[in-house]
């Protein structure tokens, strides 16, 4: 009988696993798309047809990127050192179609560029195409070496050993563009990450975000713990009515309070300071409500025994309630940290200087009037959520341990 029941439950379990797997795939897809876009070239990121596997994560291109990087300066991160020669080979089905034109482009709106001026270019014919030799004749070391090659359209089929980042049609030529032909393995795969890190002071953004979120969590836990314990364990006139008023404020949209809070901070001369980012969010009604419900679930006998022993409310809070409330404290701390770390609207309103911007506001550096650089934007977004992902595993472990310690035998 038990065997039949086990067999009968097998299709049901398989169906549950399939549904859960499908749900996991749907939930994980946006994260995969963000990671895939973070290693795409600008042309791949803007194509209408989706590209599931970008060129930079193809293992077949890593060996070529490593060789070109070693020729320029470094196998891992590439570069273009003085006296080095980088050789890029392009296979052409019909080499007689014409000699390609090659140029090291200058940055926009720049009249003089040492990199393009000190690089000598030589196009050497081979049996199956052309080899482009780039030599650094100057005395400066460059982190990357961009390249533009115009291939005649008479050469109907051609293939570069390192796939170009963009291919465009320009009159009688195919315009091939490389952001860096001497990348190295890591410089090739993580090109957008390196460019994003140097595009804005992300070190400062991370510092402001962590300081803001950390102090909000610490101050919010202290205030919410004391207020929640008072509403849960201290009897005073109007306690329930006052608590209902507190809870009722959760129905007020946060946008309604933006202008009054801004005016108040302006009169206090706190705009564009850490006070404006931290102080308005120290008291959380949600945190008070969550911890109050947790304190109410604790046995009354513990507090009665403590009062008989002469313990004060302060002693009962820190010696009894606080150690047993670790799961609730961790839960509220996670919500508070995520809310402070992911805040965008309030930091955007109360800060003006780049030194006071948070990481979420700093992501706007990749959105401009000329369009968005989705590759670098997704790379910066990945760096922004990486601390959250790492912290999640530590918080999960602490949360499980807190639940195990909270049991009363």
Cα–Cα distance between 304 and 314 in angstroms, integer? Answer: 14
Domain match, 152 and 208 both: no
List beta partners, residue 170. Answer: 173
What pLDDT, in 10s, does the model give residues 337-366? 989 999 989 999 999 888 899 998 988 877
Domain match, 247 and 333 both: yes
Nearest CA among 405, 234, 213 for reference residue 322? 405
Domain match, 178 and 228 both: no
CA angle 122, 126, 127 (to 5 degrees): 170
Domain match, 248 and 172 both: no
Domain at 254, CATH number: 1.10.3720.10
Looking at 136, 151, 183, the residue that finishes a domain is 183
Domain match, 374 and 230 both: yes
Which domain range does residue 360 map to? 202-405
What pLDDT, in 10s, does the model give residues 12-38? 888 899 999 999 999 989 999 999 999
Cα–Cα distance between 279 and 220 in angstroms, integer? Answer: 10
Tell me if 2 is assigned to some domain: no
Tell me if 17 is assigned to some domain: no
Q: If you count them, how many residues does the chain have?
A: 409
DSSP one-letter code for 150: E
Q: Per-residue pLDDT tens, the chain, 409 aa: give them.
A: 445 555 557 888 888 999 999 999 999 899 999 999 999 988 888 888 888 889 999 998 999 999 999 999 889 999 999 999 999 999 888 767 788 899 999 887 778 888 988 999 999 888 888 899 999 998 999 999 999 999 988 877 888 999 999 899 888 889 999 999 999 999 999 999 998 888 888 889 999 999 999 999 999 999 999 999 999 888 889 888 999 998 898 888 888 888 999 999 999 999 999 999 999 999 889 889 988 888 888 888 888 888 888 888 888 888 888 888 887 888 888 889 989 999 989 999 999 888 899 998 988 877 764 456 788 889 999 999 988 888 777 767 665 654 444 444 3
Tell me if 196 is assigned to some domain: no
Looking at 155, 183, 211, the residue that finishes a domain is 183
Domain match, 171 and 73 both: yes
Domain match, 123 and 151 both: yes
Handedness of CA 190, 193, 196, 198 (dihedral sign): negative
Tell me if 173 is assigned to some domain: yes
Domain match, 238 and 305 both: yes
**How many other C-beta atoms are found inside a 10 Å radius of the C-beta of residue 346?**
20
How far are the Cα atoms of 78, 123, 186 from residue 136, in angstroms, in the given order?
Answer: 14, 15, 22
Domain match, 232 and 344 both: yes
Cα–Cα distance between 80 and 73 in angstroms, integer? Answer: 5
Domain match, 243 and 333 both: yes
Question: Looking at the 3D structure of the chain, how many domains does it have?
Answer: 2
Domain match, 341 and 235 both: yes
Cα–Cα distance between 106 and 139 in angstroms, integer? Answer: 18
Domain match, 155 and 259 both: no
Tell me if 302 is assigned to some domain: yes
Looking at 183, 216, 240, the residue that finishes a domain is 183
Tell me if 99 is assigned to some domain: yes
Tell me if 7 is assigned to some domain: no
């Amino acid at each position: 009988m038990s065997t039949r029941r086990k067999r009968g439950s097998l299709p049901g379990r398989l169906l549950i696993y399939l549904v859960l797997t499908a749900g996991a795939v749907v939930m994980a897809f946006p994260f995969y798309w963000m990671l895939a876009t973070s290693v795409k070239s600008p042309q791949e990121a803007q194509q209408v047809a989706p590209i599931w596997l970008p060129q930079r994560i193809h293992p077949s291109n890593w060996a070529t990127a490593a060789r070109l990087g070693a020729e320029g300066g470094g196998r891992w991160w590439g570069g273009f050192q003085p006296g080095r020669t980088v050789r890029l080979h392009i296979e052409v089905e019909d080499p007689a179609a014409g000699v390609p034109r090659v140029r090291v482009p200058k940055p926009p709106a720049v009249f003089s560029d040492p990199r393009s001026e000190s690089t000598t270019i030589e196009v050497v014919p081979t049996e199956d195409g052309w080899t482009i030799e780039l030599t650094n004749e100057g005395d400066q070391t460059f982190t990357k070496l961009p390249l533009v090659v115009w291939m005649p359209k008479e050469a109907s089929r051609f293939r570069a050993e390192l796939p170009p980042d963009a291919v465009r049609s320009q009159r009688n030529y195919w315009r091939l563009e490389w952001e860096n032909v001497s990348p190295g393995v890591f410089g090739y795969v993580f090109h957008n990450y390196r460019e994003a890190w140097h595009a804005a002071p992300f070190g400062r953004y991370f510092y402001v975000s962590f300081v803001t979120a950390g102090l909000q969590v610490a101050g919010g836990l202290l205030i919410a713990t004391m207020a929640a314990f008072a509403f849960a364990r201290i009897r005073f006139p109007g306690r329930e009515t006052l608590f209902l008023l507190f809870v009722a404020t959760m129905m007020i949209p946060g946008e309604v309070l933006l202008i009054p809070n801004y005016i108040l901070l302006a009169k206090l001369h706190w705009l564009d300071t850490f006070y404006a980012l931290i102080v308005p969010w120290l008291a959380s009604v949600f945190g008070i409500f969550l911890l109050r419900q947790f304190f109410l679930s604790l046995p009354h006998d513990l507090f009665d025994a403590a009062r008989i022993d002469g313990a004060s409310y302060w002693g009962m809070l820190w010696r009894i309630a606080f150690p047993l409330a670790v799961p609730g404290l961790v839960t509220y701390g996670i919500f508070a940290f995520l809310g402070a770390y992911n805040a965008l609207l309030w930091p955007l309103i109360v800060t003006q200087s780049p030194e006071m911007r948070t990481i979420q506001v700093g992501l706007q550096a990749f959105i401009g009037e000329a369009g968005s650089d989705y590759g670098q934007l997704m790379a910066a977004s990945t760096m922004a959520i990486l601390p959250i992902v790492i912290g999640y595993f530590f918080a999960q472990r602490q949360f499980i341990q807190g639940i195990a310690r909270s049991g009363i035998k």
